[in-house]
């Protein structure tokens, strides 16, 4: 993967701003060995996706948008300007860690699918313990946490597309990846979120909060809400039946004709349920078949 010089320069600027938020333009020029004109141009470009601006002779990064300024209670927040994958990095972290990258070169989805997390998104992995009996419910509760946050705090009505996407209309706004590791009597959950906040998604089937709301969003507010709710994730599982009902209400895939690509071929039918294992139940010619998230390579709504 080749990163162009303008991208490298922007990453260098963010690395300098990460712990200070406020630096003289000339000092930044000297520190990076780059002309003032080039710095000014890069800062203006960053301003499209961040609350970063040139004010007089200073370069500023709003503290509400800089994750290094967030100190969540009970969590260790690790903020890196560039990473391969927050999911891979998180495996080397302790419990109750959240890893955030500004630029993610090797973002990983289901079945090892690679993607790049560009400037202005929120690319994060949460690492926490979970009881064995609760692990199966994470693919239900995590999407619900997200759609509730977007609805209540931003007025953005989103839906869940099985198995791991949050959509606005028919466009993807968030991808979710959940993996688990064994740890004695518990499991370690690594919850990866790729959220289109202020970035400009390159794919036509994607959209960002910035595009929806017509303004840039201070990302620390969203990150704080996610940390707060994910901290209480097991308390949200007291009533699995209610959880399932709420999930089904926000499931855009329900009662839709779907086309599912699997390693064994293509399955077409109507999605009628999600069972206790998180499998999508599809009715095909009057017969019901359950497809697990691990088997579904691609899911498309056919109507």
Percent of the chain having pLDDT more than 90? 75
Residues 67-249, CATH architecture: 2-Layer Sandwich (3.30)
- pLDDT band for position 112 (cuts 50, 70, 90): low
pLDDT > 60? residue 243? yes
Domain ranges of the chain: 5-61, 67-249, 257-301
Helix, strand or coil, per DSSP, at residue 224 = helix
Say whether 67-249 and 5-61 share the same fold.
Answer: no
- For tokens 């890069």, the residue is 42
Residues 5-61, CATH architecture: Orthogonal Bundle (1.10)
3-state secondary structure 65-132: CCHHHCCCCCCEEEEEEEECCHHHHHCCCCCCEEEEEEEEEEEECHHHCEEEECCCCEEEEEEEEEEH
pLDDT at 114: 66
Residues 6+ apart with CB under 8 A from 120: 48, 49, 50, 197, 198, 199, 200, 208, 210, 216
Express the helix, strand and coil content of the chain in percent, nearest 5 each.
30, 35, 30
**At CA 146, angle to CA 144 and CA 149, rounded to 5?**
110
pLDDT at 172: 95
pLDDT > 70? residue 70? yes
pLDDT > 60? residue 1? no
**Cis peptide bond prior to 163, omega within 30° of 0:** yes
pLDDT > 90? residue 161? yes
| Count of other CB atoms within 10 angstroms of residue 294 | 11
CATH 2.30.30.100 applies to domain 257-301: yes
Buried b (16+ CB within 10 A) or exposed e, 170-200: ebbbbbbbbbeeeeeebbbbbbbbbbbbbbe
- pLDDT band for position 61 (cuts 50, 70, 90): very high
pLDDT at 110: 59
At 199, phi and psi to the nearest 5?
A: -80, 170
Residues 6+ apart with CB under 8 A from 4: none
- For tokens 């990150």, the residue is 223
Q: What is the mean pLDDT of the chain?
A: 92
Give the predicted TM-score (pTM) of the model: 0.93
User: Cα-atom radius of gyration of the chain, to the nearest Å?
Assistant: 21
Handedness of CA 67, 69, 70, 73 (dihedral sign): positive
pLDDT > 60? residue 111? no
pLDDT > 90? residue 116? no
């Amino acid at each position: 993967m080749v990163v162009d010089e303008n991208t490298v320069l922007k990453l260098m600027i963010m690395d300098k701003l990460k712990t200070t938020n406020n630096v003289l333009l000339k000092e930044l020029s000297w520190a990076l060995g780059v002309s003032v004109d080039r710095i000014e141009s890069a800062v203006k470009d960053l301003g499209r996706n961040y609350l970063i601006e040139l004010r007089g002779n200073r370069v500023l990064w709003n503290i509400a948008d800089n994750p290094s300024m967030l100190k969540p209670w009970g969590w260790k927040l690790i903020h890196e300007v560039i990473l391969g994958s927050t999911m891979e990095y998180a495996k080397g972290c302790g419990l109750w860690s959240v890893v955030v990258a500004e630029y993610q070169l090797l973002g990983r989805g289901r079945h090892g699918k690679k993607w790049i997390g560009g400037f202005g998104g929120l690319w994060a992995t949460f690492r926490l313990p979970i009881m064995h009996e609760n692990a199966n419910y994470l693919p239900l509760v995590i999407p619900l946490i997200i759609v509730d946050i977007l609805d209540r705090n931003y007025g953005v009505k989103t839906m869940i597309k099985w198995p791991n996407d949050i959509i606005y209309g028919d466009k993807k706004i968030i991808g979710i990846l959940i993996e688990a590791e064994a740890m004695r009597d518990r499991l370690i959950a690594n919850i990866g979120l790729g959220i289109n906040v202020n970035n400009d998604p390159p794919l036509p089937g994607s959209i960002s909060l910035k595009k929806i709301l017509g303004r840039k969003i201070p990302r620390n507010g969203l990150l704080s809400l996610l940390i707060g709710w994910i901290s209480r994730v097991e308390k949200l599982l007291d009533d699995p039946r209610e959880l399932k009902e709420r999930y089904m209400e926000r499931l855009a895939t329900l009662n839709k004709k779907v086309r599912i690509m699997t390693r064994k071929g293509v399955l077409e039918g109507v999605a009628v349920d999600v069972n206790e294992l998180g499998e999508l139940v599809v009715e095909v010619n009057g017969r019901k078949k359950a497809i697990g998230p691990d088997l579904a390579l691609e899911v498309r709504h056919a109507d």
